[in-house]
């Protein structure tokens, strides 16, 4: 089999991993090494987009899609009839270098099926990164998928070369993991995340100390400067959104995850009889990302976002029709309208259509002059949505409107628009 055929098989096998981020790592360039590759602490670069709207930033491939595990949701599970291939270490290194030189990519995201043993597989993955960094002095971004059962020495070496390490939590509950991925072990996943987290923290702390004491010798060996991330599959088991978000919050809190990715369970070639296929729940996935954002940056609680009322047709789920922030506002109409000239920052942040930046702008501007209705459109805020929820010195929504039984239907027009955008 030639490299082109392998590339086709092993890219196809890697597409169900949502992450392609190359942002937020340390600042590097090739001026000193006279090699190639640079990274920046800021925004990553998306070099292309596929027709699924996803960005291509990294060469995302598997080292091999041979796998001994039987995870029901996975295209590469051992019982699947998909064609199999295995790259040699040099093949991956060459593809990465050649793609990078043509400015196709920011770097490599390497993952692998489990062959022989966890350590053997991890050693192969690390060997690719080692060769790129040490032989080719490659300065681009490297993301390595980590195998939970691999030895600590291998993890430490992976952390030395990689900008980011990640372990997929896969499913929101241990019960689901046992049922759908019987070879995986929830406890060992958690243990490895904890190990990564302490390694990342230790490296960060040593850098802080070195800066404080102005002594570079105090910097510990590098360890995954861009932190760790993980991925949860949505829609393969029966977990509701509240369970998914609770799991995500726990991961953010316990392991300082940079990101939890939600991946709508998507049709695969040759599915398992254990897990029949459906269209991927893309809107649900999108709502989870929105809720994730509100939890981390807007101070919402999980129970506030998911519908916890007992008589709800879908308890513990986010609304698919409207975004979680608007859904919360519709359920808590008693908290509105909000007087933009008096309310505190946190209250303004809860108004549907006002984000962190605009909330800050409004608070700054009202110190200069009381806010008027037209100031809202000058800030390019979505006034059609906002007008029901806010008062300014010259605008006050009719109380009857906010109290009307069919209030939420006012946003149905917006709903169909959003569905088009995200479907």
Partner 1 sequence: MYSFSVTDFENWRTIARTLLQANVDPSNVSWQPPEQQGLFSPSALEAIIDPAKSVRSSGTHKIPRQFLQRAKQAACFSDMKDPARKWSILYSLLWRIVHYGNGTLLLTSDPEVRCLDSMCKAVSRDKHKMKAFVRFQQVANHNVAVTGQECPEDGAEYYVAWFEPSHAIVESVAPFFVKRFTGMHWSILTPGGCAHWDMEQLTVTEGVPKPDIDTDSFDIFWKAYYCNIFNPARLKEQAMRSEMPKKYWKYLPEAACIHDLTRGATAVTEQMIDAPTTNSDRAREKSRIVAQFQNTLRLKNRIDPDTDNFSDTPP
Segment 226-265, which members bind partner 1 (CB under 8 A)?
243, 247, 250, 254-255, 264
> How far does the chain reach from its first CA to its final CA, in angstroms?
37
3 state DSSP class of 121:
helix
Exactly one of 213, 278, 332, 396 binds partner 1 (CB under 8 A); which one? Answer: 278
Question: Which of these ranges, 48-56, 152-160, 214-222, 333-341, lies near partner 1 under the rule CB under 8 A?
Answer: 48-56
Distance (Å, whole) CA 260 – CA 289 = 9
Taking CB under 8 A as the binding criterion, the range among 64-72, 203-211, 218-226, 390-398 that sits at the site for partner 1 is: 64-72
Q: Is 395 helix (H, G, I), strand (E, B) or coil?
A: strand
Given the structure tokens 């893309």, which residue do they identify? Answer: 282
Based on the shown chain and the rule CB under 8 A, indicate whether residue 179 belongs to the binding site for partner 1.
no
Q: Which of 19, 21, 22, 60 binds partner 1 (CB under 8 A)?
A: 60
Residue 2 touches partner 1, criterion: CB under 8 A: no
CA dihedral 383, 385, 387, 389 (to 10 degrees): -130
Question: For residues 19 and 17, what is the distance between their CA atoms, to the nearest angstrom?
Answer: 6
Pick from 163, 5, 168, 6: nearest CA to 89: 6
Cβ-based nearer residue to partner 1, 271 or 370: 271
Residue window 111-150: x/- pattern of binding to partner 1, with contact defined by CB under 8 A: ----------------------------x-----------
Q: Does position 33 bind partner 1 by CB under 8 A? A: yes
Return the residues of window 280-309 that contact partner 1 according to CB under 8 A: 280, 282
Side-chain half-sphere of 138: how many Cα atoms within 13 Å?
Answer: 27
Judged by CB under 8 A, the chain residues 354 through 393 that form the site for partner 1 are 361, 378
| Total number of residues that touch partner 1 (CB under 8 A) | 94
- CA separation (Å) from 9 to 41, 59, 108, 318? 33, 14, 17, 36
Query: Is residue 101 part of the contact set for partner 1 (CB under 8 A)?
Result: yes
Q: At its nearest, how many Å lie between partner 1 and the CB of residue 34? A: 5
Taking the least distance from each CB to partner 1, the nearer of 329 and 376 is: 376
Instruction: Please answer whether residues 264 and 282 qualify as being in contact, where contact means their C-beta atoms are separated by less than 8 angstroms.
Output: yes
CB-wise, 54 or 342, nearer to partner 1? 54
Q: Confirm if 257 and 293 have CB atoms less than 8 A apart.
A: no
156 binds partner 1 (CB under 8 A): no
């Amino acid at each position: 089999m030639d490299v082109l055929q392998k590339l086709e098989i092993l890219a196809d096998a890697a597409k169900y991993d949502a992450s392609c981020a190359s942002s937020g790592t340390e600042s590097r360039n090739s001026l000193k090494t006279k090699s190639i590759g640079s990274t920046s602490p800021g925004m990553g670069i998306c070099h292309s987009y596929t027709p699924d709207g996803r960005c291509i930033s990294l060469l995302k491939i598997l080292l091999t899609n041979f796998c001994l595990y039987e995870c029901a949701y996975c295209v590469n599970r051992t019982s699947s009839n998909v064609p199999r291939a295995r790259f040699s270490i040099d093949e991956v290194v060459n593809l990465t270098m050649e793609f990078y030189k043509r400015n196709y990519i920011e770097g490599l995201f390497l993952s692998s099926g489990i062959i022989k043993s966890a350590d053997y597989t991890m050693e192969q993955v690390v060997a690719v990164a080692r060769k790129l960094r040490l032989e080719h002095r490659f300065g681009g971004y490297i993301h390595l998928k980590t195998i939970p059962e691999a030895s600590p020495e291998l993890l430490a070496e992976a952390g030395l070369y990689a900008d980011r390490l990640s372990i997929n939590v896969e499913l929101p509950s241990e019960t689901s993991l046992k049922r759908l991925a019987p070879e995986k072990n929830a406890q060992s996943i958690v243990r490895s995340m904890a190990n990564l987290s302490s390694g990342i923290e230790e490296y960060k702390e040593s850098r802080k100390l070195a800066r404080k004491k102005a002594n570079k010798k105090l910097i510990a060996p590098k360890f995954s400067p861009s932190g760790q991330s993980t991925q949860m599959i949505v829609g393969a088991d029966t977990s509701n959104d509240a369970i998914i978000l609770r799991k995500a919050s726990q991961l953010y809190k316990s392991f300082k995850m940079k990101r939890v990715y939600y991946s709508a369970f998507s049709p695969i070639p040759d599915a398992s009889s254990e897990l029949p296929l459906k269209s991927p729940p893309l809107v649900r996935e999108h709502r989870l990302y929105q809720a994730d954002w509100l939890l981390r940056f807007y101070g919402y609680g999980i129970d506030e976002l998911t519908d916890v009322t007992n008589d709800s047709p879908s308890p513990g789920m986010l609304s698919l029709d409207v975004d979680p922030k608007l859904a919360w506002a519709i359920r808590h109409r008693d908290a509105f309208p909000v007087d933009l000239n008096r309310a505190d920052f946190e209250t303004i942040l809860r108004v549907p259509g006002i984000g962190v930046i605009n909330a800050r702008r409004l608070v700054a501007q009202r110190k200069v002059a009381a806010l008027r209705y037209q100031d809202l459109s000058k800030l390019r805020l979505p006034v059609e949505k906002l007008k029901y929820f806010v008062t300014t010195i010259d605008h006050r929504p009719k109380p009857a409107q906010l109290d009307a039984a069919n209030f939420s239907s006012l946003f149905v027009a917006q709903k169909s628009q959003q569905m088009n955008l995200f479907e």
